[in-house]
Amino acid sequence: MSDVSYKIKPSTFANLPGGFTARQIAASISPKFLELIILPTEKCNFRCTYCYEDFEIGAMSEGTILGIENLISRRVPTLEKLRLSWFGGEPLVAKKIVLRIASHAKLVCEQHNVNFDGGLTTNAYLLTSDLAALLISLKQNFFQITLDGWKAAHDDRRKRADGLGTFDQI
Is residue 96 in some structural domain?
Answer: yes
pLDDT score, position 17: 62
Does residue 25 sit in the same domain as residue 92?
no
pLDDT score, position 2: 45
Does residue 85 sit in the same domain as residue 133?
yes
Does residue 23 sit in the same domain as residue 45?
no
Is residue 99 in some structural domain?
Answer: yes
pLDDT confidence tier of residue 64, bands split at 50, 70 and 90: very high
Is residue 166 in some structural domain?
Answer: no
Does residue 78 sit in the same domain as residue 140?
yes
Does residue 37 sit in the same domain as residue 59?
yes
Does residue 7 sit in the same domain as residue 80?
no
Higher-pLDDT residue of 16 and 39 is: 39
Is residue 169 in some structural domain?
Answer: no
Does residue 37 sit in the same domain as residue 19?
no
Helix, strand, coil percentages, rounded to 5, for the chain: 40, 20, 45
CA–CA separation, 110 and 29 (whole Å)? 23
CA–CA separation, 18 and 115 (whole Å)? 27
Per the DSSP assignment, residues forming a β-bridge with 34 are: 82
Does residue 60 sit in the same domain as residue 130?
yes
H or E element at residue 97: helix 95-111
Is residue 127 in some structural domain?
Answer: yes
- Closest among 141, 139, 137, 149 to 122, alpha carbons compared: 141
Does residue 131 sit in the same domain as residue 151?
yes
Report how far apart, in Å, the C-alpha atoms of 24 and of each of 3, 12, 13, 19, 117 are.
20, 12, 10, 10, 18
Q: How many domains does the chain have?
A: 2
Instruction: Provide the residue range defining the domain that includes 20.
Output: 1-30
What percentage of the chain reaches a pLDDT higher than 90?
70
Does residue 19 surpass a pLDDT of 90? no
Does residue 125 sit in the same domain as residue 78?
yes
* CATH number for position 116: 3.20.20.70
The dihedral over CA atoms of 48, 145, 33, 24, expressed in degrees to the nearest 10, equals 100
pLDDT confidence tier of residue 24, bands split at 50, 70 and 90: confident
Is residue 90 in some structural domain?
Answer: yes
Three-state SS for 2?
coil
Mean pLDDT of all residues in 74-89: 96
Quick check: 42 and 57 in contact, CB under 8 A?
yes
pTM, two decimal places: 0.83
Does residue 56 sit in the same domain as residue 89?
yes
